[in-house]
Amino acid sequence: MQELLMVRYGEIYLKGLNRPYFQNLLLARIKSALNNLTSKVTLHDSRIYIRDMKDSAACLHAVQRVFGVHSICPAIEMDKEDFAAVCEQAFQLMSGLSGGFKVFARRADKRYELDSPQICAAIGEYVLKRNKDLHVDVKNPEHKLNIEIRDKAYLYINVFAGPGGMPIGSNGKATLLLSGGIDSPVAGYMIAKRGVALSAVHFYSFPYTGERAKQKVLKLAQLLAAYCGELRLFLVPFTEIQMSIHEKCPADYTTLIMRRFMMKIAEIIAKDEKSQALITGESIGQVASQTMRSLACTDAVVTLPVFRPVIGFDKIDIISYAKNIGTFATSSLPYEDCCTVFTPKHPQTQPKIEAVEEAELFIDNIEDLINQAVQNSELIQL
Ligand code: ATP
Ligand code: MG
């Protein structure tokens, strides 16, 4: 008899020829999440098993952050041939519980001598006789006792939800424009959850944005890295560009022009990183630079697809998502972002692309500024 964690993954991704690829990638991701906790992680019969755990709560917590995991059950594994011992173990598992219960049996080994209804009946009866605080409730049971007959018997009560999604790396790589705000970490999480590896780009404007703002972004990147494994963060100095825009361009276009610089620089880094897309935390109409026309003007300077997974979310929905994934508290720290430096009083909300391009002509060394910013960026490996 042995305690272990039994991990289930989403069925819909398992069809066809991709199945072994997906399974092995998920196995690798789980192994690396459990790096310091146990090395006994195996794939067998459509389940992943985690054994030899010194700290099962820590293992559970780690696996709950691995994309591709559907659910995790702390289970007891035992010899299926000794059915009397299985019944006794079921009773032990239910000891101390009271109220309605139901037994669920699943017989993956079709040669097993008892079928599922017989297993349910025998175990239900055994438990009921010995625990007088329990009664059978098939409609709305408070406790669900699960028995799976596979190469061995597996018994469990609790099922913990995983994050869902697909394992990181199964869907390529994208580069996130990571501000210190609430929206961009959520956007990064949502795309990473679909199996996309991330790298991130952050623009800072020293001395207008300080050391604490930088630390905040580092912390956000670390929080994301806890889900998506390694993450390369590029810190890009942006002061000179912002000063040039502020000094030379018409005030109502400055925010939009700044956004276009950000996108161009991010794209250069993204292509270098072999990313296939950019990600931002923009949502329609949230601020002047996020009207549909403004978004069209920022898209116009890049060729990579730009993913904006929170585009249709209200701020309140993004906040609740951020709370769920654990980024909200850090995002709420009150340090300046470079976007809030030199903000015009009346930014354009319905810009025309020709007018933006014309306004940009006042800066005659755009390419130099961009190249310098890329060259002077600092890489932090998380
Ligand atoms: P967030 O909460 O993500 O900061 P926001 O509501 O503050 O969003 P903006 O400041 O207009 O909106 O930024 C829109 C998007 O542009 C952000 O979601 C992010 O993807 C990107 N962005 C903004 N500022 C930066 C920055 N300093 N570095 C990198 N990306 C940024
Ligand atoms: Mg922001």
Residues 53 and 189 placed together within one structural domain of the fold: no
Q: Most distant CA pair in the chain: distance in Å?
A: 86
Q: Which atom of ligand 1 is nearest to the CA of 201?
A: 29
State pTM to two decimals.
Answer: 0.92
Q: Residue 369 Cα, ligand 1 centroid: separation in angstroms?
A: 20
Interhelix angle for 183-193 vs 315-325, to 10°? 60
Higher per-residue pLDDT: 267 or 205: 267
Ligand closest to CA 285? 1
Q: Residue 183 Cα, ligand 2 centroid: separation in angstroms?
A: 7
Q: Calculate the average pLDDT of the chain.
A: 92
Residues 91 and 237 placed together within one structural domain of the fold: no
Reduced to 3 states (helix: H, G, I; strand: E, B; else coil), residue 314 is coil
Write out the E strands in 150-208: 153-156, 160-161, 173-177, 197-204
Task: Please check whether residue 357 lies inside any domain of the structure.
Answer: yes
Cβ neighbours of residue 259 closer than 8 Å, sequence gap 6 or more: 289, 294, 297, 298
- Is residue 117 within 8 Å of residue 110, measured between CB atoms? no
Task: Please check whether residue 167 lies inside any domain of the structure.
Answer: no
Instruction: Give the bridge partners for 6, in sequence order.
Output: 49, 73
Reduced to 3 states (helix: H, G, I; strand: E, B; else coil), residue 97 is coil
Q: Which atom of ligand 1 is nearest to the CA of 184?
A: 3
pLDDT at 14: 62
Last residue of a domain, one of 134, 161, 188: 161
Residues 70 and 181 placed together within one structural domain of the fold: no
**343: pLDDT confidence band, cut at 50, 70 and 90?**
confident
| Protein residue with least CA distance to atom 17, ligand 1 | 281
Q: Is the pLDDT of residue 34 over 70?
A: yes
Question: What's the burial of 210, exposed, middle or buried (CB within 10 Å: 0-12/13-18/19+)?
Answer: middle
Residues 228 and 82 placed together within one structural domain of the fold: no
pLDDT digits (tens, 9 = 90+) for 109-148: 899 999 999 999 999 999 999 999 999 999 999 999 999 9
Rounded to an integer, what is the distance from CA 275 to the centroid of its chain?
A: 18
* Domain of residue 325, residue span: 173-381
Residues 257 and 228 placed together within one structural domain of the fold: yes
Mean pLDDT on 326-338: 87
Q: Residue 62 Cα, ligand 2 centroid: separation in angstroms?
A: 30
Ligand closest to CA 282? 1
pLDDT digits (tens, 9 = 90+) for 150-196: 999 999 999 999 999 999 999 999 999 999 999 999 999 999 999 99
Task: Please check whether residue 168 lies inside any domain of the structure.
Answer: no
pLDDT at 286: 84
| Protein residue with least CA distance to atom 21, ligand 1 | 177
Residues 95 and 6 placed together within one structural domain of the fold: yes
Strand pairing category for 99-107 and 134-136: parallel
Residues 200 and 65 placed together within one structural domain of the fold: no
Instruction: Give the bridge partners for 7, in sequence order.
Output: 48, 72
Q: Which atom of ligand 1 is nearest to the CA of 177?
A: 30
Last residue of a domain, one of 131, 161, 191: 161
Q: Is the pLDDT of residue 60 over 80?
A: yes
Q: Is the pLDDT of residue 338 over 70?
A: no
Question: In this structure, what CATH number is given to the domain that contains residue 372?
Answer: 3.40.50.620
Last residue of a domain, one of 91, 126, 161: 161
Ligand 1 shell residues, CB under 6 Å = 177-179, 181-184, 201-203, 262, 280-282, 286-287, 289, 337-339
Q: How many helices (H) and strands (E) does the chain have?
A: 13, 15
Strand pairing category for 47-50 and 153-156: unpaired
Reduced to 3 states (helix: H, G, I; strand: E, B; else coil), residue 55 is coil
* Total number of domains in the chain: 2
Q: Which atom of ligand 1 is nearest to the CA of 337?
A: 27
**Cα–Cα distance for residue pair 148/143, rounded to 1 Å:** 16
Q: Is the pLDDT of residue 15 over 70?
A: no
Residues 353 and 222 placed together within one structural domain of the fold: yes
pLDDT digits (tens, 9 = 90+) for 270-290: 999 999 999 999 999 887 788
